[in-house]
C-alpha cells in the first residue's frame, strides 16, 4: 500500500493532499486542521493514518499560519473565524475531483483546529457530514479565561493587557457555546488534565446538545483521565472508526 503525498493549493490555500492510489472508488474527503502557531506539516502522522484507512485527506494551513503567515504572531480567535469561513470554499474546490467523494466529507481539527470546527458548525451552510474536534471545546470564553492561555499568549508575544483583553472580547463575541450548533455526528475528545481546554465546558455542552440528537451515538464525547493538551493513538483510532461509520457506512 502506497500513500501519495502532494503539496498544492486550492482556493489559494496552501495544503497537503494524502491518498491511496490503489483504491478502486472515490474516497470520502477529510479536511484535517492543525493547532495554534502550527502548520500543515505538523499533523502529517495523523493525516497518514486517515489516508491509510481509505480517506482522501486535505491538510491546509490555517489563516495566518504556515505558508499563509504574514510573519506576525496571529491572533487565535481571528484565525479561527477566518479559517472556518473558508472551509466551504475549500470543499467546493474538490467537487469535481475524480479522486474524491466530496459529498461525503468529514472534518478533523486539533486544538485551534477543533475550535475552527465548532465555529464552523454555527454557520448557515454546513457541508460536512461528521466533525471530530480533538483537545478543543465549543466554549471559547473558557479557553480565553484559562490561566495557561494567558501564558501561551505571553510566550507568543501577545501578552500585553490590551492584546489579551482583545482576545477575550473576540472569544465572547464568537463563542459557539452561546450560538446554535448544528447537531451533526460529532466526536469530541479531550484530556481531563488539559490546562487550556476545561473538560467541564465540554461536559456542559454535551448535556445541552443531547436532546437535539435522535441517535444518541451521533454525539460521542470522550474525556481521558490524566491526559493533557495532546492527542493520542487512541484518540486518532477513534476518529478513524467514527469517520468510517459516518462517511463510509461501516461498522
CA dihedral 234, 87, 131, 125 (to 10 degrees): 180
pLDDT at res. 159 = 72
With respect to residue 10, please indicate whether it lies within any of the assigned structural domains.
yes
With respect to residue 193, please indicate whether it lies within any of the assigned structural domains.
yes
pLDDT band for position 232 (cuts 50, 70, 90): very high
Using CA of residue 225, residue 228, residue 233, residue 238, what is the dihedral sign?
Answer: positive
With respect to residue 153, please indicate whether it lies within any of the assigned structural domains.
yes
What is the average pLDDT across 105-110?
98
With respect to residue 250, please indicate whether it lies within any of the assigned structural domains.
no
With respect to residue 38, please indicate whether it lies within any of the assigned structural domains.
yes
| CATH code, domain with 58 | 3.40.50.1820
Greater pLDDT, 25 or 242? 242
Number of domains in the chain: 1
Look up the domain containing 193 and give its range.
Answer: 3-245
pLDDT band for position 85 (cuts 50, 70, 90): very high
pLDDT at res. 184 = 94
Distance CA 198, CA 208 (A): 16
pLDDT at res. 188 = 98
Classify residue 24 by its DSSP letter. S
pLDDT at 54 over 80: yes
pLDDT at res. 198 = 96
Q: Please, which residues bridge with residue 239 across strands?
A: none
With respect to residue 134, please indicate whether it lies within any of the assigned structural domains.
yes
- 122: cell is 454555527
pLDDT at 71 over 90: no
pLDDT at 102 over 90: no
With respect to residue 251, please indicate whether it lies within any of the assigned structural domains.
no
pLDDT at res. 137 = 98
Average pLDDT, the chain: 95
- 14: cell is 496552501
Residues 6+ apart with CB under 8 A from 148: 195, 196
With respect to residue 77, please indicate whether it lies within any of the assigned structural domains.
yes
Amino acid at each position: 500500500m502506497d500513500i501519495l503525498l502532494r503539496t498544492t493549493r486550492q482556493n489559494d490555500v496552501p495544503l497537503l493532499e494524502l491518498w491511496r492510489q490503489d483504491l478502486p472508488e472515490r474516497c470520502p474527503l477529510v479536511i484535517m486542521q492543525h493547532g495554534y502557531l502550527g502548520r500543515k506539516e505538523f499533523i502529517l502522522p495523523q493525516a497518514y493514518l486517515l489516508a491509510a484507512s481509505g480517506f482522501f485527506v486535505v491538510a491546509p494551513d490555517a489563516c495566518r499560519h504556515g505558508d499563509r503567515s504574514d510573519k506576525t504572531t496571529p491572533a487565535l480567535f481571528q484565525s479561527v473565524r477566518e479559517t472556518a469561513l473558508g472551509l466551504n470554499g475549500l470543499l467546493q474546490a474538490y467537487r469535481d475531483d475524480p479522486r474524491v467523494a466530496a459529498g461525503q466529507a468529514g472534518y478533523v481539527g486539533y486544538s485551534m483546529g477543533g475550535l475552527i470546527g465548532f465555529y464552523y458548525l454555527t454557520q448557515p451552510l454546513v457541508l460536512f457530514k461528521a466533525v471530530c474536534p480533538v483537545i478543543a471545546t465549543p466554549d471559547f470564553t473558557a479557553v480565553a479565561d484559562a490561566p495557561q492561555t494567558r501564558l501561551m499568549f505571553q510566550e507568543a508575544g501577545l501578552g500585553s493587557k490590551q492584546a489579551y483583553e482583545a482576545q477575550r472580547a473576540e472569544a465572547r463575541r464568537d463563542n459557539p457555546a452561546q450560538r446554535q450548533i448544528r447537531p451533526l455526528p460529532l466526536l469530541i475528545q479531550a484530556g481531563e488534565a488539559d490546562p487550556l481546554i476545561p473538560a467541564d465546558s465540554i461536559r456542559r455542552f454535551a448535556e445541552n446538545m443531547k436532546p437535539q440528537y435522535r441517535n444518541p451515538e451521533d454525539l460521542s464525547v470522550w474525556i481521558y483521565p490524566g491526559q493533557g493538551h495532546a492527542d493520542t493513538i487512541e484518540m486518532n483510532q477513534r476518529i478513524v472508526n467514527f469517520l468510517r461509520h459516518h462517511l463510509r457506512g461501516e461498522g
